[in-house]
Amino acid sequence: MFQISKDYAPPFKMIEPFFVLGSIFYFLGTIILLFLHPKSGHFDFSIVGWAHWFLLGFVMMIIFGAMAQLVPVVVEVGHFAVDLYYIIWPLLLLGVLGMVSSFWFAPWLLPYGGLLVLVSMLIFLFETFMTLKKAQNITLTVKTVYWANIFLLIGILSGFFMTLAIGNGFDINLTKWLKAHAMLVLGGYVTLTIIGISMVLLPMFGLAHGFDDKPVNRAFKVMIVGVILYVVSTLISFYFATMLAWIVIFVAIANYFYQIYLIYKVRARKKEDIWSKSMFAGFFSLALAFIFGFFNLFIESEQLLLAVAWFLIVGFFGFLITGHLYKIIPFLVWFERFSPLVGKQKVPMLHEMVPVRDAEFEFYFSASGVVIAGFGLMLGSEDIFKGGVLLLVVGAFFLVKSVFWMLRFK
Amino acid sequence: MCNITKEQVYKAIESVIDPEVGFNLVELGLIYDAIIDENCNVKVVMTLSTRGCPLHQMLTQWVQDAVKKIDGVNEVEVEVVWEPEWNISMAAEHVKKALGME
């Protein structure tokens, strides 16, 4: 029988730093954007530094924290060694700061920062793989977590290989390796993780049942093929296969979109809240990235490529993560502080533990900021881009305020 | 002979609220049956709105605790089943309305 005992739930103090640090990285990351130029190329070290700040400090930090709670739910067994999470976040924090500093002003730090990130992720992967090994009910989500982590392993090894090459002056084709690294981490790990975890969280929070799950099964298999084909064809410079890989990835995303529509159609919870609004904004951003990405196959434009990355990373990843913070943090706080009081005194409901007004401010400022800045990037307009980023900064401020409000709820 | 009724058991379980949706388990339609034998042992057959519910064990514990509070109850067993799968049509009308179904 499926069940999760209290022993499977990680201690609140263990996960709290992931969410606190992640939201601070997000806020500071939006401020740093004010100092970047929208016409910088994606190989510019100022952009590479920001991408690592945002992806490692915000996206990965929060995904890792969330996984501490979600992996037992998904795998239906307890963690192999949950205490390892106590050392993952300090190593990741120091590693990100080292790597980003090296991109911006201290190149000599790159191998050291890279090594810290590598070690933190290897610990995360070791713990996750050992936990997955105990799984008996092999669901689609278990398979996606497994494959996503394999891609993360190859992705971080390729990243570390690049840091060694840059730091020691080895002669490798950085363009090819950067593309392969980005695909492994963004497509192979983050997107595949989102696809898998969506199948647990979207029906759970939307109270959706009885939908056909064939589209997501197709998306999962096709995405794996697309990522592998892209990485191999890029490294061996087989242009035709790379184009084919993009088409395969687009087919996977289209199937995922169809699955989301099927879940949305049968959801019982139709009342909109900050979570559902954030999901809508996230999928809208993914749709924009999808459309612009498709055009980018035929129109070679650095601005278009940056806009695709923007809507994918800041829009899709950003809203899916921030939206779930309004579900995960109240649950963890409730579980820690109020579940022992059930039956003894009145306890709050989870929706009462969300600062509705600040969360709404966060959503509307962020949503308008993402769209405006994204179009600013595409048009190469510094004024439009920075106007959008300013809105995003205000939204990020309200996110941090909301996170601390939820964490301190008593 | 046991005088405890099914209605009493359901009434007791009404005190158990799902903190995520804010309704009690009975009005959500999650309680499928309550079987009471002649020795006042109670078996509650219930489901959850999702298999991945992180509150699984706590909810079943709360149900057990709530039923144990009924005078004269002997042993309480809670069985979680996944067939039939829960869906919103099993919930009370006011729950559907509050969720925005109508």
DSSP string, chain B: -----HHHHHHHHTT-EETTTTEETTTTT-EEEEEE-TT--EEEEE--S-TT-TTHHHHHHHHHHHHHTSTT---EEEEE--SSPP-GGGS-HHHHHHTT--
With 70 as the cut, is the pLDDT of residue B25 above it? yes
Helix residue ranges per DSSP H, A60-109: 61-75, 85-104
Statement: residue A52 has pLDDT above 70: yes
Least confident of A37-51, A109-123, A187-201, A309-323: A37-51
* B13 class by beta-carbon count within 10 Å (0-12 exposed, 13-18 middle, 19+ buried): buried
Provide mean pLDDT across the span A21-35. Answer: 97
Does B56 sit within 8 Å of A3, measured CB to CB?
yes
pLDDT at A190 exceeding the cut of 80:
yes
pLDDT value of position B21: 86
Q: What is the mean pLDDT of chain A?
A: 92
Cβ–Cβ below 8 Å for B22 and A349? yes
Structure tokens that stand for B51 in this block? 């298999």
pTM: 0.91
Among the partner residues B19, B55, B99, nearest to A349 by beta-carbon distance: B19
Is the per-residue pLDDT at A333 higher than 60?
yes
Q: Lowest mean pLDDT of A75-84, A93-102, A179-188, name the range.
A: A75-84
Residue A169 has pLDDT above 80, yes or no: no
B23 touches chain A (CB under 8 A): no
Q: Phi then psi for A297, rounded to 5 degrees?
A: -65, -30
Q: Note the pLDDT of residue A22.
A: 98
Q: Is A169 on the interface with B (CB under 8 A)?
A: no
Select from A108, A113, A85 the least CA-distant residue to A9: A85
What is the per-residue pLDDT for A8?
63
Of A1, A5, A270, nearest to B80 by CB-CB distance is A1
**pLDDT in the model for residue B102:** 64
Sign of torsion, CA A64 A320 A276 A19? positive
A4 compared with A250, residue with greater pLDDT: A250
CB contact under 8 A, A331 and B20: yes
Q: Which residues of B touch A350 (CB under 8 A)?
A: 19-20, 22
* B3 min Cα distance to partner chain A (Å): 25
User: Among A128-132, A260-264, B48-52, whose mean pLDDT is lowest?
Assistant: B48-52
The residue-averaged pLDDT of B85-96 equals 91
A339 part of contact set with chain B, CB < 8 Å:
yes
Q: What does the pLDDT look like over A222-279, one tens digit per residue? A: 999 999 999 999 999 999 999 999 999 999 999 999 999 999 999 988 889 999 999 9
Share of chain A above pLDDT 70, in %: 98
More confident residue, A369 or A340: A369
Nearest CA in chain A to B14: A343
Return the pLDDT at A7: 52
Count of beta carbons in the 10 Å neighbourhood of residue B72: 9
CB spacing of B99 vs A207 below 8 angstroms: yes
A189 versus B51: which is more confidently predicted? A189
State whether residue A342 sits within 8 Å of chain B by CB.
Answer: yes
Residue A4, pLDDT above cutoff 50: no
Q: Is the pLDDT of residue A3 over 60?
A: no
Query: CB A204 to CB B87 under 8 A?
Result: no
**Region B38-52 average pLDDT:** 90
Residue B85 contacts A where some CB pair is shorter than 8 Å: yes
- Which range of A277-286, A332-341, B82-91 scores highest in mean pLDDT? It is A277-286
Chain B residues within an 8 Å CB radius of A344: none
Nearest chain B residue (CA) to A75: B52
Q: What is the pLDDT of residue A6?
A: 46
> In angstroms, what separates the C-alpha of B66 from chain A's closest C-alpha?
8
- A208: Cα within 13 Å, side-chain hemisphere: 21
Residue A366 pLDDT exceeds 90:
yes
Average pLDDT for A31-44? 83
Burial of A322 (0-12, 13-18, 19+ CB in 10 A): buried
Q: Stretch A80-96: mean pLDDT, rounded?
A: 96
Q: In the predicted model, is pLDDT for residue A1 greater than 60? A: no
Q: Which residues of B touch A348 (CB under 8 A)?
A: 19
Residues from chain A contacting residue B59 (CB–CB below 8 Å) = none
User: What's the mean per-residue pLDDT of chain B?
Assistant: 91
ipTM score above 0.90: no
Q: Angle, nearest 10°, between helix axes A140-168 and A61-75?
A: 150
The answer to whether the Cβ–Cβ distance between B62 and A342 falls below 8 Å is yes
Please report the pLDDT score of residue A97 as a whole number: 97
Q: What is the mean pLDDT of the segment spanning A22-32?
A: 97
Average pLDDT, stretch A377-402? Answer: 96
pLDDT value for B55: 81
Domains in chain B (CATH in brackets) are 6-98 (3.30.300.130)
